[in-house]
Every structure is written in C-alpha cells, then in structure tokens.
Amino acid sequence: MSRYRIAVHIVPRRGILDPQGKTVADALHTLGFGSVRDVHVGRHIVVNLEARDQKAAEQSTRDMCERLLANPVTEDFEIASVEAT
C-alpha cells in the first residue's frame, strides 16, 4: 500500500445561485478588478489515505465525494491534485 495526499475542489453547480460568489465578485469589482466575470466559492478538502496505487486512491476519493463530501443535487467536485507521500 502507498500513501497519497489528494485535494478535492467542491463548487456550487453551474446555474445554481451562489450568493457568496456574487458578493465576492462585487467586492473585487469595487477594488477595481473590472476584468472579473464571476466568482464561485466552494470548499477545498485534503484527504490523506492509503491505497494500492494512484488509480485506486482516486477512485476511492471519488466515492467519498459522491457519498459524503459533495451534495450531488447542488455541487460538482473535481480532484485538484494527487501526490504520493
């Protein structure tokens, strides 16, 4: 078994009202960052785990996202990085 450090990004599904993202975007506009089109605020979760190989580690993390870490009704997730540790 090897150890992995996997980071997951969870963001509101496109099309779902994201008042936090909109508030941050408005604040960025106020600061003069006029080029900002939109902002989405989500969660960044880091999981340290043991797995047979990288593929198994990623599959396990995807299962975690589908069952608990993300809400399939309102959120999308993506594996942001995988590191062997």
Total Cβ atoms within 10 A of residue 19:
9
Residue closer to other proteins by CB (options 39, 54) is 39
The span from the CA of 26 to the CA of 34, in Å, is 10
Residue closer to other proteins by CB (options 49, 54) is 49
Does the footprint of other proteins cover residue 81 (CB under 8 A)?
no
Minimum distance from residue 84 beta carbon to other proteins (Å): 26
Residue closer to other proteins by CB (options 19, 32) is 19
Does the footprint of other proteins cover residue 30 (CB under 8 A)?
no
Minimum distance from residue 8 beta carbon to other proteins (Å): 12
The span from the CA of 5 to the CA of 37, in Å, is 32
How far is CA 10 from each of CA 13, 24, 25, 34, 35, rounded to the nearest angstrom?
Answer: 9, 17, 18, 26, 24
Does the footprint of other proteins cover residue 19 (CB under 8 A)?
yes
